[in-house]
Amino acid sequence: MVPAGPSARSGDSKHLTEVRAHITVGGAGPHLIDASRDAALMVVGRRIRRSATGTHIGPVTQALLHHAAAPVAVVPHV
């Protein structure tokens, strides 16, 4: 992974959160699973995919939910 820019900090002085950006080449699922090993929390978005059998999440979110080393928060698209 190659750093895409400087780390950013968010929040007040009691609750700082570090955000890191990286540029990678290849499939998103394996890279996010790898990145989860050093993360306190993984946050991913979800677009609604409707089919005849119901609403589904995408393959990257599915892979992360099943294989991530850190907790995963799935945020729906509004």
pLDDT in tens, 3-39: 444 444 555 567 677 777 878 899 999 999 999 999 9
DSSP letter at 18 equals E
Are 27 and 57 in contact by the 8 Å Cβ rule? The answer is no
CA–CA distance from 19 to each of 35, 50, 54, 69, 73 (Å)?
A: 12, 32, 34, 18, 15
Helical pair 59-67 and 28-35, crossing angle rounded to 10 deg: 30
CA dist., res. 22 & res. 43, Å (int): 15
Q: Structural domain boundaries of the chain?
A: 2-76
pLDDT in tens, 56-70: 788 899 999 999 999
pLDDT at 33: 96
